Amino acid sequence: MEPVFAGIAAIIILSALFGYLMHRVRQPLLPAYILAGVLVGPLILAFGRIFGISYLVHLTDLSFLTDLSHIGVAFLLFVVGLEMEIRKINRVSLPSFLVALVPTVVIALVVIPLAMLTGLSATAGAYLSLILSFSSTMVVLKLLSDRGELPTLHGRIITGTLLFQDFIAIIALAMLPGLQQFSALLMLRSLLKGLALVLSIVAISDLVFAPMMRVAARSSELLFLMSLSVCFIAASAAELAGFSIEIGAFIAGLSLASLPYKPEIVGRMLPVRNFFIILFYAALGMGLYQVPDWNLVWSFLAVVLILKPLAMMLTLDRLGFSRSTSFLTGVNLAQTSEFSLILVPIAIQANILPATYMVAITLVTLLTFVSSSYVIRYANRIYLLLRDRLFFLHRANLDKFDEFHTKKPFSAVLCGYNRTGYGILKSFKEKKKEILVVDYNPETIHRLRHESVPCIYGDLSDPEIVDRIFKFKPKVIISTVPDLDVNQLLIEQAEKSEHKVMLFVTASWIEDALRLYERGAHYVMLPNLVAGDYLAGIVHKHGKSHKHVHHLRKEHIKELKRRHRHAAE
């Protein structure tokens, strides 16, 4: 058995075992992968001694896993670039830019003087500030995507912030090797080189790869292979230009983001990415065998978990965003970045930072990754517990985005527009009945306002938004959001309301539906059961008539195209 195979096999087996145990107790999987990395070395050694496998006893160098993990980060950023729709963050580009910039400046103002007091140079303090300012594109976007929060206002701001941070990282990575001879000319040269790299990759993608992709799209395997080729070509070009392979992969993803077959590319790429990402987390765990300087660790954690999110919250608060949007943005970005682990070794090689900082930054990255896997999962509940104590955030109710201020009552309120809500709103329009729509997707709100549909932006997990809904004195509230906590909050508020409200809510699981009925919901819809009943009705009524089924098919295609056009506008 080859050492490389033995190391990878041990990582995958341990990750699967610990992941299974974490899943059984309904915990995030990320800590399981890190734990596998922590234990892989000792377990391989013990296995070799127990079974007398000599080469496993001497297999102490697993650094190749770290090299493989960098490929995983590159694949992740390639997929992030593919899924990045810059036009969707245009409305929050200024807030995103300021959320990326202001905390970086604040952290620099604190860290640089402290670094100089400990004997480091101002340059070291500046780069340490950058290392602590960046948040993790890999962790945050994956967790928010899993929770379906990327389309929300705070999700858009977070995505834009991470994008701006990535561009700052490009500049930092370009300038770092020659920083000791820093000059304005060097900075300009680095910026021009980075701009040339981006323009070159985008131009080659449009002129060469896009036409080739159109041909390759006829074969899913060839399309996947061509996409991998673009990723590796861009990553290699970035490395030759003095950048990291991760930056090249990210730019490659952005250059292919407008292709119509993007969903298939992403679907094919995800299993490959996930495999290498597991190795990345395991490599993080493997970096914990050395004893860190705990004073450094606690200091860095204070900056990342307290100073950075506070600066982000206050920035958004001053820009006019609500308390919940400001809070959720800040806490979701309270971790260090995978780019930090790229910057630190380069800074150490350039004699800018001491070697002891590598272990401390690795541990801080690991701890903040683990904490984020829980904080992002329970961010709404944490906000509910702390919202009355967030006195430093002044805008308690409305986002700057929200411009709907009418006090006119509505007989019906629709919570959640996309998918199920589209048909409900259409039905109300056809019957000329007015209904107020509540949604947390800024693009949806913008489109509905353009169509003169009464609507407000709001996250239903925020009690302040729910309070606002009931001030419209609705007789019927329809929730298409299959979130148990959200629907329980609506039921609780309905019980407190002075007027009677009929509640129609949605659940994903039978257990949740029964619980909502017990709490007082008037009707609970389970989309899968309703869809099954509807399809069975079509089969029984029209299944024997090809003519009727063909007519239904034509009408269905027409409706799907109408919805698709509506969503794309």
Complete DSSP assignment for 509-536: SHHHHHHHHHHT-SEEE-HHHHHHHHHH
Residues 208 and 89 occupy one common structural domain: yes
Residues 150 and 249 occupy one common structural domain: yes
Sign of CA dihedral 489, 492, 496, 499: positive
Of residues 366 and 504, more confidence is placed in: 504
554: its two tokens: 């034509």
Pair 298, 52: CB distance under 8 Å: no
Shortest CA distance to 569 belongs to which of 450, 485, 413?
Answer: 450
Residues 359 and 440 occupy one common structural domain: no
- Could you give the C-alpha distances from 390 to 97, 137, 155, 323, in angstroms and in order? 24, 27, 20, 8
CATH number for the domain that contains residue 519? 3.40.50.720
524: its two tokens: 């609970």
Residues 343 and 462 occupy one common structural domain: no
Domain range enclosing 309: 62-389
Final residue in a domain of this structure, among 321, 356, 389 = 389
Average of per-residue pLDDT values in the chain: 79
Residues 148 and 289 occupy one common structural domain: yes
246 is a domain residue:
yes
Is the pLDDT confidence value at 273 over 60?
yes
Residues 418 and 384 occupy one common structural domain: no
State the pLDDT confidence band at 59, using cuts at 50, 70 and 90.
low
Residues 372 and 488 occupy one common structural domain: no
Neighbour tally for 258: CB within 10 Å: 14
Final residue in a domain of this structure, among 356, 389, 422 = 389
562 is a domain residue:
no
Asked which of 103-117, 301-315, 539-553 is least confident by mean pLDDT, the reply is: 539-553
State the pLDDT confidence band at 57, using cuts at 50, 70 and 90.
very low
Is the pLDDT confidence value at 399 over 60?
no
| Residue 277 confidence (pLDDT) | 77
CA distance 433 to 430: 8
46 is a domain residue:
no
pLDDT tens sequence across 287-330: 666 667 888 889 999 999 999 999 999 999 888 788 888 899 99
129 is a domain residue:
yes
Shortest CA distance to 455 belongs to which of 467, 441, 464, 463?
Answer: 441
Number of folded domains in the chain? 2
Final residue in a domain of this structure, among 389, 421, 454 = 389
pLDDT tens sequence across 155-205: 888 988 887 887 777 666 656 555 555 555 666 666 677 777 777 877 887
Residues 275 and 372 occupy one common structural domain: yes
CATH number for the domain that contains residue 307? 1.20.1530.20
Q: Who's near 420: CB < 8 A, 6+ residues apart? A: 480, 506, 525, 527
334 is a domain residue:
yes
Reported as half-sphere exposure (CB side, CA atoms, 13 A), residue 541 has a value of 9
Query: What proportion of the chain, given as a percentage, has pLDDT over 70?
Result: 84
38 is a domain residue:
no
Residues 163 and 294 occupy one common structural domain: yes
556 is a domain residue:
no
Of residues 373 and 189, more confidence is placed in: 373
Residues 317 and 435 occupy one common structural domain: no
Residues 457 and 313 occupy one common structural domain: no
Residues 293 and 442 occupy one common structural domain: no
Q: Model's pTM, two decimal places?
A: 0.71
163 is a domain residue:
yes
State the pLDDT confidence band at 568, using cuts at 50, 70 and 90.
low
pLDDT tens sequence across 492-505: 888 888 788 899 99
CA distance 130 to 175: 13
